[in-house]
Structure 1
Amino acid sequence: MVTGDLPPPDACHCSQCRKHSGHFFASTDVPRAALTIRGGDNVTWFRSSEKVRRGFCATCGSSLFWDPIAHDWIGIAMGAFEGPTDTRLRIHIYVANKGDYYDIGDGLPQNQQ
């Protein structure tokens, strides 16, 4: 559960996020203090690099979190929310690493990194 409004999400096209999600990873970055994880014993954490871990549901395998350990915020997968989120995608990041099988045509800003 997130307290407060969700910040606009981004779409990350880096190779790790594409492997994590099966396509690009759309997530919103919220302050850790605003997040309450109910059923935390069902979250499995994978240390994908020295600086980041990724959270999965141990029951169904869903990708849930992108967690830059040393920061005061955590990325939550947009697909983890039930019901309306009242937000819209704001930017695409790491588009230099995107898959070759799709184009980005929504007119949103695109950062190469």
Structure 2
Amino acid sequence: MHRGSCLCGAVRFTVEGGLPNPDACHCSKCRKYSGHYFVSADVPRSAVRIEGEDQVRWFQSSEKARRGFCSVCGSSLFWDPLQRDWIGIAMGAFDTPTHTRIAVHVYMADKGDYYDVADGVPRFDTIPPKPH
């Protein structure tokens, strides 16, 4: 089980089971949402339990997704693709070790000019297809 929370602790969550290696998204929306690029693990909704869910506020950032943050401290916590059976959870919000590594960088064509990515992880200008 993996545990996490926002900065103030008003929102806490657990994820049952293992975590997949996360994606790092460099699109302008993720950079504005997180203050840098957004790294999240996509986990089945059924594996996630949220305490303090009444403190989570959702911002509809596109027709396809919304973003969840703590209404008390403003921590960026979730990326929620509508009509999918999974939710992205911000890696920085986990309180316990995740034993993961970034698997892929996406939207590199949109990344900020103030940093470099030189970790040897695959990079794409869009989202690559997921293997079957």
Asked if these proteins are the same fold (TM beyond 0.5), I'd say: yes
RMSD of equivalent CA atoms: 0.7
TM-score by length of 1: 0.97
State the partner residue of 1:63: 76
Q: Percent identity?
A: 65
Q: Give, in angstroms, the shift of residue 88 of structure 1.
A: 1.0
Structure 1, residues 57-102: CA drift from partner, whole Å, max 9, x if none?
1111000000001101000000110021111111100101000111
Q: Gapped runs of 5+ residues in structure 2?
A: 1-13, 127-132
The corresponding residue for 2:90 is 77
Q: Which has the higher strand share?
A: 2
**Pairs aligned (count):** 113
**Matches of 1:102 and 1:109 in 2, distance apart?**
17
**Local SS of the residue matching 2:50:** coil
The alignment status of 1:45 with 2:58, answered yes or no, reads yes
Does residue 92 in structure 1 map to residue 92 in structure 2?
Answer: no
Aligned with 1:17 (options 17, 24, 30) = 30
5+ unaligned residues in a row in structure 1: which ranges? none
